[in-house]
Amino acid sequence: MWLINSSIGRKVVMAVTGIALVLFLTFHASMNVVALISAKGYNMICEFLGANWYAVAATIGLAGLVALHFIFAFILTIQNRKARGNSQYAVTNKPKKVEWASQNMLVLGIIVILGMGLHLFNFWYNMMFAELAETDGVALASNGVYHIVRTFHGGCPCEPTTGCGYAYTAIYLVWLCALWFHMNHGIWSSMQTMGWSGKIWLNRWQCISLIYTTVIILMFVVVAVAFCLGYVPCDFKEAMGECAKAAGSCCGGC
């Protein structure tokens, strides 16, 4: 099959899976911003995306896209290194027209994968998996705002933090920085691979990619930093339910 056996086919798979993942990140970033406006609204989305058959199917599909994207990226990297042979060690000056992200896409991708693993542990494991496995945390499985506060602030905003929230926020910012470089290059590169850019449109796609990537990553950053600094939406206490009642009236948001 040419999609697997040919270099062009592998690049097409990389482009298609990459575009699909960008669309998912767009949805995810838009969903996260809701947490800044309404904790109750965010929890409604989390409940809708809970352990339902369509959410589980989408999760499996997303995992497949990530696996394909990473596997083909690794194959293409090995292929390119073999094609260069010993000449890769003879070159000391990097081509001026080749950007840094292009030469380090695999490294950036590995950082993104590691960050994704941490993200899955902090959220997916404590939410969808907890609901599917019916663990002790099932009561808070759909309480997304609780998990955001717990991760980025290290506890309820009215209580002293343990410091883990600041550490997690710093790690997430490094992850998002790597994701920015990877995504910025990946969008316009995918358009080029699909044949949707020429001499004029290449520069346009690079500009679109820069703006689009920056907006999406900033949406993630704002949520992480805001909750790290103790921000909570006005309906935080109501959305927290019994957890907020146990913490006291100081968790009332506004």
Residue 95 in this model has a pLDDT that exceeds 50: no
Cα gap 105→115, rounded to integer Å: 15
The residue ranges of every structural domain in the chain are 2-82+102-245
Top-confidence residue, 138 or 207: 207
Two tokens, residue 187: 């969008």
Reported as a single tens digit per residue, the pLDDT across 23-80 is: 999 999 999 999 999 999 999 998 888 878 888 899 999 999 999 998 888 888 888 7
Residue 226 banded pLDDT, cuts 50, 70, 90: very high
**Res 51: pLDDT:** 77
Reported as a single tens digit per residue, the pLDDT across 140-179 is: 777 888 889 888 986 555 554 555 788 899 999 999 999 9
Radius of gyration (C-alpha) of the chain in whole angstroms: 21
CA-CA-CA-CA torsion for 44, 47, 48, 49, nearest 10 degrees?
A: 120
What CATH number belongs to 2-82+102-245?
1.20.1300
What is residue 254's three-state secondary structure?
A: coil
Across 26-30, 101-105, 225-229, least confident range: 101-105
pTM as predicted: 0.83
- Helices 7-37 and 53-84, interaxial angle, to 10°? 140
